[in-house]
Amino acid sequence: MSKYNIAIVGGTGIVGLELLKVLEERKFPVNELRLFASAGSSGSSLKFKGSRFKVQELRRDGFKDIDIAFFAVDSRISKKCAPLAIQNRAIVIDKSNAFRMDKDVPLVVPEVNPDAIKRHKGIIASPNCSTIPLVMVLKPLHDYFRVKRVIVSTYQSVSGAGLKAIQQMEKQIKSKIPSSQFSIRNWYAFNAIPQIDSFGSDDYTAEESKMIRESLKILNDYSIKITTTCVRIPVYCGHSESVNIETDKPITVATVRRLLGKTKGIKVMDNPQEGIYPMPIDVAGKDDVYVGRIRKDPTVKNGINLWIVSDNLRKGAALNAVQIAESLIF
């Protein structure tokens, strides 16, 4: 089997660390591994397959002979550094929002639109951590019933805001009451914040707008009407979504369960009478997207409600990126 030279930009961040874990767990054929991070992390080391790898500050020649470069950094750094990787003939798999809506950049969930990978011109974008589980559920239902309208409310864990946010929440739990060292807008503990990212002129947050635009691009059907509300809640790991779906064709709970039950990457966990439904604490560390609370919406002709939960650091981030890389080489 061929082996590949791999770079991770943002190797010491919460997603970068998860990337290392997933690459090792899935036995990705790594030849050489280079870890890049900010100057503050340069010189530290991380463990991978029993060896320690030194973290470097990114240089212009850092991508020489790299085959695949994972970017787990913010959009600003991706926009600046991804072109350097492409100049060195590396393929970039980017987790940021930098290139997702670029018409020349495929936005990929391998279980949903794997053929889009073939159209890449050096960069492949991985979607938002809340978009990925949504489109995985919508795809089989859209193919069978023709989805025409979707209403989504997300309940997103603090890990989605990064390691510093988790550390903030831990301090807040101990202090129990808001203190002047934290913005009240970032008071994660014992709270629900109906704002993730900045507000646009339409009063939707960037997170909400991303979910809408990305879902339509991945599903390649701009006729679907989608509206979203995204909320940050005091959970360490795992994003949850309450989803209301209206379809053109008659839809039944039994058929939804059957379709989702045979869809790769989805696990149906749905027996409410026995208290069985997915929760973040159930899915942390797991690769699949879990679906439960499947029930008819009696207020519309063809409507269904369901509840989606997934580990935002795995399928929502690191795992999806690694699966894209696997699609490139296998």
Could you tell me if 284 and 257 lie in one domain? Answer: yes
Considering the domain boundaries, does residue 283 fall inside one?
yes
Is residue 269 classed as helix, strand or coil in its secondary structure? coil
Count of domains forming the chain: 2
Considering the domain boundaries, does residue 182 fall inside one?
no
Note the pLDDT of residue 42: 83
Could you tell me if 107 and 36 lie in one domain? Answer: yes
Considering the domain boundaries, does residue 172 fall inside one?
no
Could you tell me if 92 and 145 lie in one domain? Answer: no
Could you tell me if 66 and 107 lie in one domain? Answer: yes
Catalytic residue flag (residue 230) = no
Could you tell me if 265 and 285 lie in one domain? Answer: yes
Range from 35-44, 66-75, 115-124 carrying the lowest mean pLDDT:
35-44
Note the pLDDT of residue 157: 98
- Supply the mean pLDDT for the chain: 96
Marked catalytic residue, from 142, 230, 237, 239 = 239
The domain that contains 65 carries what CATH number?
Answer: 3.40.50.720
Could you tell me if 214 and 283 lie in one domain? Answer: yes
Could you tell me if 118 and 223 lie in one domain? Answer: no
Marked catalytic residue, from 81, 120, 129, 142 = 129
Could you tell me if 229 and 123 lie in one domain? Answer: no
Note the pLDDT of residue 60: 86
Note the pLDDT of residue 29: 98
Note the pLDDT of residue 80: 95
Read off the pLDDT band of 184 (50, 70, 90). confident
Could you tell me if 67 and 150 lie in one domain? Answer: no
Considering the domain boundaries, does residue 167 fall inside one?
no
The domain that contains 144 carries what CATH number?
Answer: 3.30.360.10
Catalytic residue flag (residue 120) = no
Considering the domain boundaries, does residue 168 fall inside one?
no
Read off the pLDDT band of 185 (50, 70, 90). confident
Note the pLDDT of residue 233: 97
Q: In the chain, what percentage of residues exceed pLDDT 90?
A: 93
Boundaries of domain holding 236:
131-157+192-312
Tokens standing for residue 232: 């940050």
**pTM given for the model:** 0.96
Could you tell me if 116 and 230 lie in one domain? Answer: no
Could you tell me if 64 and 206 lie in one domain? Answer: no
Cα→Cα distances 328→110, 287, 312, Å: 11, 20, 23
Could you tell me if 40 and 140 lie in one domain? Answer: no
Considering the domain boundaries, does residue 264 fall inside one?
yes
Considering the domain boundaries, does residue 272 fall inside one?
yes
Range from 184-198, 230-244, 263-277 carrying the lowest mean pLDDT:
184-198
Read off the pLDDT band of 8 (50, 70, 90). very high
Encode pLDDT of 114-139 as tens digits.
Answer: 999 999 999 999 999 999 999 999 99
Note the pLDDT of residue 323: 98
> Is the pLDDT assigned to residue 170 strictly greater than 80?
yes
Encode pLDDT of 236-262 as tens digits.
Answer: 999 999 999 999 999 999 999 999 999
Note the pLDDT of residue 177: 76
> Is the pLDDT assigned to residue 178 strictly greater than 80?
no
